Structure 1
Amino acid sequence: MQLYCSKQHTNNGSNRFCTHCGEPLPLAVGQVVDNRYQIIRHLGQGGFGRTYLAEDRNKAHQTCVLKEFAPQVEDKQDLQKAKELFEREANVLKTLQHPQIPRFHASLQVKIGTKDFFFLVQDYVDGDNYYQLLEQRETQGNTFSEEEIITLLQQILPVLSYIHSRDVVHRDISPDNLIWRRSDNLPVLIDFGGVKQLPASQGFWRTKLVGNNTLLGKKGYAPEEQLRQGKAFFSSDFYSLAVTSLVLLTGKEPQKLYDSYQGIWAWGKEIRVSPQLEAVLKKMLAYKPSDRYQRAEQILKDLPSPTATKSAGNYITTKIKTMVVAPGRQRASAVVSRFQNKTQAIAKPISWPVWIRPFVMSLGGTALVVLTGAGTLAVVNAVVRSVTSITIPSISLPQIPQLPNPIGKPVSDKGKNSNLQEIISRRQQLEITEGFFTPFVDNLFYTKKPQLKGRSLTSKPEDAGLRDEWSGIADDLLDKLEQADLSTAARRKLGKYSQKDYVTWRRQARSGQFKNYTIDQLTKDANEKFDRLFPDQDRGKLNQQTFGQIWYAIAADQVSKVQSGN
């Protein structure tokens, strides 16, 4: 079994560290930790290590989360601080018993290979975090409504009241650390102890010793006293919760909502809420901790009811003296809609029945071409296109002139001189799977020939022109894929990319694994290269299974270059 690090280096399945770059490798699916927890799948990755969904074999196959401690830090002082943060989270979770906080199970020290690894075991929360929910809304041109934000505050403030009563300050409230639980539609607060906030993040996070204090907090979401002085109060959590509310309301990051020169938020411009909710958020965002609410109950008392704001519509523009310290990550617009429930069958590689496949290819001495069920496949392709169309992150770019045909010939002329066996050979040499390539060409062919609905194509002479046209489209696509100059790893993965890849890149950029390279720059670079190759394609409506895959492959190669320092 082979494992791959984030730079796509190939490693033996028994390794725990990449033999090329030293990066900790993910645990393999099926691997059992501490003779008890069997890895089901990889959930995510941060500065401290990885998070896994696992099955507890000692508890009737109950699922749980394993949080691995493997920080990518070199300085001994940083490593010691990371260990302290990890132990802090374990100790905090042991004391907290609240239905909207993942229940702590155990902390483990396990020897894997020759190295000791540390894990936290806690409840698995089935749901999406609020950042993911916001992305889903944005793909439809929406954000969270004021009523939804008031409901969120009403549901999460009692949780803060509980942890504050235990003298615990979360210090990292953000959309990423709130999960909407599917079972009861309640928000769940995760990630205690600041475990993810490590110095390896190179500028996106801050963890540094200041006397007896540690600077912790996400830039843009954490208040000044937390980021600059390493101090945190109960009101610091209220500040972060207010910023989270503004981001969910507007779909914009804090740096887009706050004018650091004038020290004001964009009330009435980017931020449009009722006067009642605005007054509450202003007090939560006050610059001085003493000017904010001191207890969650005070906020709950002042919050308007969700129904009272529906007909308000009386928005005003005001200014508030507050401060955001070095607002953090920028975010490109959402990559794709999340179709986990509605299109699960389509998201997987489709095993087409023979009667709707346009080509049945024989690799014997003679290539036999049979086109059948063209009309049915055209309908299927239309359905697939309508359901799997995605929105690739969009950046405004100057108009790029259309490139000439790479070999200076019309496609139809190329097709007449093409041989199906040569197409198969070219595809195999590029190590592009047939399961991705053939449906892609089919899609292009039937989009170009919608009049073939109900028309069966055969290997007879009268269909020779149509077969040549299909071959021409295939040749042209192979030319474009060669021009893209994709790595072997990227070509091999064509057909398997998904929104999860982009979510992973965004998290890696935010945690500093790309150094100063941002997710916005990645999107811009991928867009520019894609537009040069396919100037006629509307990036706002790319089919996830065809052109969208090429966009992802381009982005994946760019990520690899950034991570390798090239």
Structure 2
Amino acid sequence: MTESSVAEAGIVLVDRYRLEERLSEPDAVQGCLWRGVDCLAGETPLVIRQISADDPSARIRRLWPVLQSLLHSQLPRFGELFDAEGSLWTVRDWQEGSGFDRILQQRIERQLVFGAGEVLLLLRQILPVLAMVHGRGVVHGDINPRNLLRRDVDGLPVLLDFGLIQAIGDAPLAGATAGYAPRSQGRQDAAATWMDLHGLGVTALVLLSGKTAEGLIDVSGADWLWPEGLELDPAFRAVLERLISESSGQRFETAAEVLKALEAVSMPDTTGPTARSDRTVVLAPIALDLPSVQVPAPPPSPADAPELEVPQRRRNRAEEREKGAEGRLWPVVAALALSALCGTAIGWYLLSRDASRGAAPSTNRDVVGRMPAVSLPPAEVDERQQLLSRLRALQVDRSWFLKLVDSSLLSRFPERGGRLPTDSLDDAPLRRVWNELAEEWMARIEQLPPMMRSQLGQLQEADWLQQQQSLVEQGVHARVVEQLVSAGARNLLLGDAQGRIPEEPYRQLWYAAAMQSLADVTIQSVTAKSQQPTTLSVRVPPGGARLMSVLVPRGLGLVLGINGTPLMQMTVFRSDGQVEKERGPLRVVQLSAAAGSPVQVMVTNEGVASGLLTMSCRADRIVIPSSPSVIQPMPAPVPGLVPRPMPPSSTNPELDPNPIPDSATGDLMEPESDVQDLAPAEDPWLIDDSVVNED
């Protein structure tokens, strides 16, 4: 691409995109970057790339759908691809922030560099993004500080500039930033994921040392030089050395391997900038210790002696008067200090009494659980005040909510050893993570009714045991009730707190989910009949669960078929509460007589709308052989059913003569075993009178 082929600022492409400012010089491979606006979307800022050469155009056309499929909060959205003005044009979102190369340059001017905690946090935040990119079968091709941006709105790193994107296995492209691309890329080795990880490792060393990438390579160009004076945790140094290594036996091959290795690296106390190891220290000049020469004063003459004694006596009297005044002033100062101390104590007592009368208890800590500081940026102060206002509006116990968010943060960063972020500039990235967790928990708590929200932090096990006992008296096993509550709590608890009854402070939300999900639960009871299907229809609310109890005649097994929406999941429990069929999609299952009676079936709906569930069941003599892949039911003659002829080579001589049909369509449904079905001459399920419909 030449200078003459570059478009001019101000032109409007396809009656929509206006070019405002050129951001890069024309490049034969990557083209030219422009800052533009979308005239049809309120002058929304965009980044527009102009590509003129044929080969890059073909590559971008082939890989652009892959970029459009990359949906991640730390990647820009890739939009339209079109031809105009004799060139190929691509459009992506504009990201407001500062490049890491620019941040590093500003710090170097102040003799600062990125700290170890700051770089460790960067790696942990950007590696999942690279893992997703590599999972689509492509590599970035040019990882360096210039293509990493710290976004202003949340401080997260964003991966930019996919001008050298290529499919894994393709020949590498020329134009990668010198020093960051491995030598294998210059030798035209096939593009691989480890090449991006190599560039990320060099980026980390550059940010930590403040040196250029070329300055970290020895004169022979065959090896890397560890920056002089850079001291890191041994585990962290080992990870960085493997990142920059090109040896197939030592380097990392995938981003997941790097993340796994970083789990052993402890997070330093601070996550902010640090002084350069090679900084220039300005020293003040040292004063010479010269011998002092004392000049004796001439003795006073006899004539001057009376004149000297009179001023001396006057000064002595003035000093005595001042000392007397100071002695009379001290009692006044002590009285004022004592009155101020008493007033402060009375004020705190009255304020604490007023605060305890509110609906939502609070503590003396601020939003992030530490003593308030005035050094926070105004934006963070405003964000804290908004969060406090929402807590008061929701009537949520502030002390419990702080513990909830603090526990979530510490579980994500166990290497901090229980240390919460402070209000210092070094911990700004961790405070942003804390705020994100607070917003996520707040959105989940808002799902609860007001009365339930006001009780969070004070709920106890006895608050839901009465409801559990009521269901147990109806024949539901206690373990099944617990599973039912855990399914209802899935929308309230984050992933790391889901499962069985969690520890505090997460347990409060589990109790709230238990009280809410069991408040109006009804047990749908069905009796399975021998060789005769029974059908039950119920509606499952969005995010809710339904529990069905199936009574099975003594000594018989159960054939169970469930039909519903694709977002429904089923779990089957034995009569003793043990899981018989693990949670999975709706399907046909067969249970032996050992499952007991009643068999309990729980169906959850993970959709955003209610869905109709239809369950068909039939008691039968089912023998479960030792091999779990083959189920051989005992055959029983059923009137009206004509067996389908089987080929001579069949290995299943004993077949189910009466399979479960789909309750919605009447079609026969394949069970989860290898049993084959028979073709009925007339489907008796469609005219059965023992159908129970309950909405």
- TM-score band, normalised by the shorter chain? 0.3 to 0.5
TM-score by length of 2: 0.36
TM-score by length of 1: 0.43
Greater share of strand residues, 1 or 2?
2
More contact order relative to length (CA 8 Å, sep ≥ 6): 1
Highest Rg: 1 or 2? 2
Greater share of helix residues, 1 or 2?
1
